[in-house]
Structure 1
Amino acid sequence: MAAITYAISVTIAINVFWSSSNLYGSGVTGLAQLIQTITSRYLHIDFMTTPVMLFVLNIPIMVIGWQKIGHHFTFYTIVALGLSTIFMHFISGEPLTSNPIINAVFGGLINGAGTGFALRTGISTGGLDIIGILMRRKTGRTIGTINMIFNFFILLASAILFGWSTAFYSAIGIFVSARVMDALYTRQQRMQVLIVTDKPKSVIENIKIGLHRGVTIIGEAKGAYSKNEKTILLTIISRYELYDFRNIMKETDPHSFVSITSVVKLYGNFYEKKVN
């Protein structure tokens, strides 16, 4: 279902919104559009279309994903990529508007939503998603940020081909797509959790078993009103794990005090669950 949703989303984004205003998408999709533009305009080659080039460019990336990330993940990525290639090739849509800003924003919104949903359900859309996942493990940067770095060169090429105004409109679409993608793909969003509890052993054990997260014991504390002895614990989880964490705390110590904040930057060893 996620693969079909992504395929429909990227088809609508490109065929209905972006192509009508000569706007480029993000990552390998934008590179495929760029190759089509160059080959058709300057080399008069018509068979190197965006869907064909999207599939060809992703072949070596799929090999890397199969080896470095996981077979299950890569298989469904191939399914999503194959469906999007077929949909883009055979399904065309009439432009809803010629306004480049509207096309950029709504194309980015639809593309980012489809990509983020696919990543959230455990599959990828190929291209920079796989490269981004591998680089995120090394650098800690979000997938959307990694995409935007790569896309700088796509925008530069679009400026040369169509002018700077088109490049700026494309940048709007890429920015919207990246932000929506980051908002939906919650596995990469880290949360700092501070727990004040009088059942530290049970809480630590259940977090280790349920979330496979380490817990740091900060120290002992005493309630100012109740005078009861407490223990302060610290751990880091992803936003994706927040629901499971809440259930663990409800079952282990429903009367504990928990403070959760977003982590801006994280250094050190943070275990990231591998994608199958």
Structure 2
Amino acid sequence: MKKKLFWIAVGQFISACAYCQILNANDLVATGIGGLAAVINRLTGADVQMLLIFMALPIFIWSFFSYNKKQIFYAGFSYLMFTFYVGIVNRYLPPLQTDPIAAAVSGGLVGGIAGGIIMKQRVANGPESIVALYLKEKKGISIGTYYLILNTVVICSSIIYGNVTMIIYSLICTFVQSAVTDKLIIGFEKYYNVSIMSDQYLEITQFIQDELKRGATFIQGMDTSNVKKKMLIQSVLNQQELIAIRDYVKSFHDDSFICASRSNSIIGRGFDVE
């Protein structure tokens, strides 16, 4: 638990730096309540830190009586850290003002790293996440749909103070942030679910086990072109291993067949993608 809280705190400090020093400093709109607070701040001059607190408070009060207490605890701690760090960063760290494209990319990169660190802890990271989980479990609304609607409304709300161009840069920032977060969670290694139909199934399986150090599964199949029984080999390989098995199978110069499809979720020994 202490380790999880530590990484949440680290992630939220990075997130606060991206929010205050890059996004707000360059008139980009963040997603979620943070983005809405920034919009209201630019319209009214109200303190961002206080806006974050008052906007989230009703959600936490509602969720306390309506939802999982463990998730509320982590979401509350996570949001508390972010709000606390926003005050610290705004007061002691200088804004990093740059051109909009650089701000969109760097803000998305830093925010994505923060999001990846927090989401790896598998907890709700704020009031928006609690609502998303509640709608998914109780109403059948997917988390992706919820965030798409919420973030579109928040980002487009910046048109109120006449900054239409910044909407585009804010959307670019959101895309970069989402891509970086996904990479940190899923991993940078690409894995493939490989199916091989060949008469040389024993040799190929031996190569997979001895040279590639991977497992393989046999499934009995039939080649409909000549109505001949063949053994289908299935294995999960990374990109380099896929190239190696492709070249090995091609060396037989027969009618062996390989089909590979990208796999994004692998759980088990020998793989670090979840």
User: Percent identical across equivalent pairs?
Assistant: 21
Q: Which residue of 2 aligns with 1:134?
A: 134
Deviations 1:202-245 (A, max 9, x none): xxxxxxxxxxxxxxxxxx84699998899xxxxxxx966x333x
Q: 1:136 to 1:185 in 2, by over 3 A?
A: farther
Structure with larger Rg: 2
Task: List runs of 5+ in structure 1 lacking aligned partners.
Answer: 41-47, 196-219, 231-237, 249-276
Contact 2:23/2:107 (8 A) holds in 1: yes
CA distance in 1, matches of 2:73, 2:23: 28
Q: Which residue of 1 aligns with 2:42?
A: 37
Contact 2:115/2:181 (8 A) holds in 1: yes
Q: 1:67 to 1:113 in 2, by over 3 A?
A: farther
Asked if 1:153 corresponds to 2:153, the answer is yes
CA distance in 2, matches of 1:147, 1:180: 17
Task: List runs of 5+ in structure 2 lacking aligned partners.
Answer: 1-5, 196-218, 234-262
Deviations 1:6-57 (A, max 9, x none): 22122111221112211110011101111222222xxxxxxx3222222222
CA distance in 2, matches of 1:70, 1:106: 35
CA distance in 1, matches of 2:150, 2:106: 21
Contact 1:51/1:88 (8 A) holds in 2: yes
One-letter identity of the residue aligned with 1:28: I
Higher mean Cα deviation, 67-76 or 163-172? 67-76
Q: Which residue of 2 aligns with 1:270?
A: none
Q: Which residue of 2 aligns with 1:5?
A: 10
Q: Structure 2 length normalisation: TM-score? A: 0.61
Contact 1:27/1:127 (8 A) holds in 2: no
- Secondary structure at the aligned position of 2:30 is classed as coil
Q: Which residue of 1 aligns with 2:51?
A: 53
Shift of 1:115: 2.1
Pick the aligned partner of 2:78 from 74, 77, 80.
80
One-letter identity of the residue aligned with 2:181: M
Contact 1:3/1:118 (8 A) holds in 2: yes
Deviations 1:140-177 (A, max 9, x none): 453xx532321222222212314211121111112222
Q: Which residue of 2 aligns with 1:16?
A: 21
Q: Which residue of 2 aligns with 1:257?
A: none
Contact 1:115/1:124 (8 A) holds in 2: no
Contact 2:105/2:173 (8 A) holds in 1: yes
Deviations 1:111-163 (A, max 9, x none): 22212321221222213222223344423453xx5323212222222123142
Between Structure 1 and Structure 2, how many residues are aligned? 206
CA distance in 1, matches of 2:174, 2:106: 11
Q: Which residue of 2 aligns with 1:99?
A: 99
CA distance in 2, matches of 1:85, 1:141: 23
4+ residue runs over 6 A deviation: 191-195, 223-230
CA distance in 2, matches of 1:227, 1:6: 52
Shift of 1:63: 3.8
Contact 2:71/2:130 (8 A) holds in 1: no
Q: Which residue of 1 aligns with 2:31?
A: 26
CA distance in 2, matches of 1:67, 1:31: 25
Contact 2:220/2:230 (8 A) holds in 1: no
